[in-house]
Amino acid sequence: MDWGMKNRLAQLIQADGRCLFLPVDHGYFQGPVRKLEDPRKTLEPLLPYTDAIFITRGVLRSCVDPDKTKPIILRVSGGTSVEGKDLAHEGITTSMEEAIRLNACAVGISIFVGTDYEHDSLLNLARLVDEGERYGMPVMAVTAVGRELEKRDERYLALSCRIAAELGARVVKTYYCEQFEKVTSGCPVPVVIAGGPKVPTGYEVLKFVYDGIRKGAIGVNLGRNIWQDEHPVAMIRGIRAIIHENATADQAQKLYDSVKGGKA
């Protein structure tokens, strides 16, 4: 692996082999989602606790100060919206040259296995990997399910993650599920967990992050379940303790409660 690729990956995946990525890219197809209406306001208090942010170029330029930020994973796929016919019909929206200009540490692209646009999204990934490898830019593949949230089972996610790795993704982002160990064991590159729509309690989030790490994930790329929580800083600190300090879900909940109560 060349120096640039190694250096970028080292900025994302910390010395302990773990990572906490914070995605705020949701607007690229969902518009101003709840609690991300003003990305600058959402991000500012959370930045100290993240290892990297997953973001589009537009929000990066308009809402993030270049001298006060964390490593960037640039969302480079899109071209669809929740109002359109098919969320899976994404293309590449941002060039590799732009990613380099923005000093990104990785680029991220969604793939849509099992949809009408499976072939296009997988070839987009393959082409992006070709370019990324040329310039030392890691590619993170996002195993997207669009509106079909019920697809998030171990068989489907293991299939999608493995295909992403085979096509050359350096990191794969997927959902936590029952028998998650089958997803990670079938994927030869690091896996990070996304959260999906907000789950009812914060403890459930801490629990699936803890279980996901135990079952082979190296960290998270978790958005709504952090910044839509009533106490986002408490939540990110709880998750950070699980990822980087080997805290259990119960210990992380205690930390959450102390931060919420102003005691930590």
In the complex, which residues of this chain contact ligand 5RP (CB under 6 A)?
23, 25-26, 54, 142, 194-196, 221-225
DSSP 149: G
Rounded Cα–Cα distance for residues 128 and 121 (Å): 10
Closest CA to 226 of 213, 214, 208, 211: 208
Closest CA to 46 of 260, 197, 240: 240
Residue 197 or 262 with smaller CB distance to ligand 5RP = 197
Report, in Å, the least distance between residue 73 CB and ligand 5RP: 9
Q: What are the beta bridge partners of residue 53?
A: 22, 72
Task: Tell me how far apart the terminal alpha carbons of the chain are, to the nearest angstrom.
Answer: 41
Closest CA to 196 of 142, 236, 122: 142
Rounded Cα–Cα distance for residues 13 and 9 (Å): 6
Residue 10 or 82 with smaller CB distance to ligand 5RP = 82
| 173 in catalytic set | yes
Residue 96 or 144 with smaller CB distance to ligand 5RP = 144
Residue 211 or 254 with smaller CB distance to ligand 5RP = 211
Tokens encoding 161? 């993650």
Report, in Å, the least distance between residue 3 CB and ligand 5RP: 28
Catalytic residue among 35, 173, 207, 260: 173
Report, in Å, the least distance between residue 142 CB and ligand 5RP: 5
Kindly report the backbone phi and psi dihedral angles of residue 191, in degrees, each rounded to the nearest multiple of 5, phi listed first: -115, 135
Residue 23 or 190 with smaller CB distance to ligand 5RP = 23
Cα dihedral 116, 22, 27, 63 in deg (nearest 10): -150
Q: What are the beta bridge partners of residue 219?
A: 19, 192
The SS3 of residue 135 is helix
Residues written for the chain:
264
For the annotated catalytic residues, the residue numbers are: 173
